Amino acid sequence: MASVGVWVDAGSRFELPGTNGTAHFLEHMAFKGTTRRPTANALEVEIENMGARLNAYTSREQTTYFADVQGRDVPIALDVLSDILQYPCFPANALQRERGVILREMEEVQGMMDEVIFDHLHAAAFQGHPLGDTILGPVENIKSISKKDLEQYITTHYTCPRMVVSAAGAVNHDEVVDQVREFFTGFSTDPTTVDQLVEANPAIFTGSEVRVEKPEMPLTHFAIAFKGSSWANPSSIPLMVIQSILGTWNRSVGVGNCSGSALARGISNGNLAESMIAFNTNYRDTGLFGICAIAQPDSLYDLSRLIMQEFRRLAFEVSETEVARARNQLKSALLLHIDGSTAVSENNGRQMLTYGRVMPFLELFARIDAVDCATIMETAKDFIIDKDIALAAVGPLTNLPELSWFRSHTYSDDEFTSGTFLQDAQNN
């Protein structure tokens, strides 16, 4: 088997004002026919006859189209991918039908609280910037996006300097290169780079909040975030290790007191949450890192206090044991993530767009192993202490502290320099 795909340095953050949702809409319309394959049915039959799988997804900064096929069918997959991206038809009936599909998808997303919380978090953190918009876009845009909008987005953003073809599995590199040269000939060679677009409209992190009071909900969902680092920032690796130190916890898993995460142990011992997960999201020029949690309304204050105390502890008091554990957990997670040709192809394509090269695991692991206690504390001071916070919350919110309370708990104090809090983090 082989996986082959096209990674495009274009996502929702690059949409023009008033056209939010175009990148995602385009992803849907790409499979609805081309000049050579005039109907969606013709395309589907060709893919199914190969026993292949064709898919796509859109994020805030990248769009991906990929196929999983048998090794002998890689040339056909490349032909299909090049065809749908260079010569799409956008038939009017399919355009109208996809509006309904995306509106139903939006309804489904509204029921996925993790998606809802992170959309609200981006809206709070990047106010007035496309990076704060949702990927699907608002209802009014979905109803009005036109064929012209889609064509303009392709012409502007699907350009040679911003595209990577990545293949993994049963493939021959030289043959793939020759086939790409043959098939991918109709894209614009506009030299404008993503870095130039980002520099012209940088994302500015804002300390703000989005609260959606829903007292009828049994649980509260909320996320606390600091400004993180960009992909290429040297702090990106220490922040990944910090994410691993903070860890994850879920009541249904049954791991509590024996968890390597001091925060997870504190939550388990205090019965403070249903689940908790640390996150670290990178973008071209910025990032978000923090904690997302689900909890009973009565536990919100104590849980918030514990989370903020653990954030601050990282700037003053971490042990080599917990840092070493976090490094090992991070390396294991990265290795597990590239299981299979699809994951390898995705990893390589994303890294080519992000770094301009594929970073060898030996290099990545060396950079992770270079993160010690001093690095963690220095990074935490740079990104946590006396820094603004973005907050998103949905559910019963009476007991959730105000944003100013969270902000005030980013200050350093004697509690941590004296080492009196969470001593068990030093003993495990």
User: Which residues are catalytically annotated?
Assistant: 27, 98
User: Which SS3 state, helix, strand or coil, does residue 204 take?
Assistant: coil
Segment holding 280, helix H or strand E: strand 275-282
Q: What share of the chain is helix, strand, coil (3-state, %, to 5)?
A: 50, 15, 35
Q: Mapped to the 3 state alphabet, what secondary structure does 163-187 carry?
A: EEEEEEECCCHHHHHHHHHHHCCCC
**Rounded Cα–Cα distance for residues 283 and 23 (Å):** 17
- E strand or H helix that includes residue 152: helix 147-157
- The residues, ordered by sequence, that sit 6+ positions from 324 with a Cβ below 8 Å of its Cβ are none
Q: Of 55, 56, 59, which Cα lies nearest the Cα of 15?
A: 59
Q: Are residues 351 and 314 in contact, defined by beta-carbon separation less than 8 angstroms?
A: no
Chain centroid to Cα 294, Å, comes to 20
Q: From CA 240, how far away is CA 278, in angstroms rounded?
A: 10
> Under a CB-based contact definition with an 8 Å cutoff, are residues 52 and 71 in contact?
no
3-state secondary structure of 97: helix
Enclosing H/E stretch for 368? helix 361-369
Q: DSSP assignment, residue 358?
A: P
- For 70, how many CA atoms within 13 A lie in the half-sphere containing its CB? 7
Q: Are strands 209-213 and 390-395 parallel, antiparallel or unpaired?
A: parallel
Beta partners for 295? 220
| DSSP state, residue 420 | -
Q: CA 353, CA 165: separation in Å to the nearest integer?
A: 10
Alpha-carbon distance of 130 to 261, in angstroms, equals 35
**Please, are residues 121 and 1 in contact by the beta-carbon 8 Å criterion?**
no
Q: Strand pairing partners for 221?
A: 294, 394
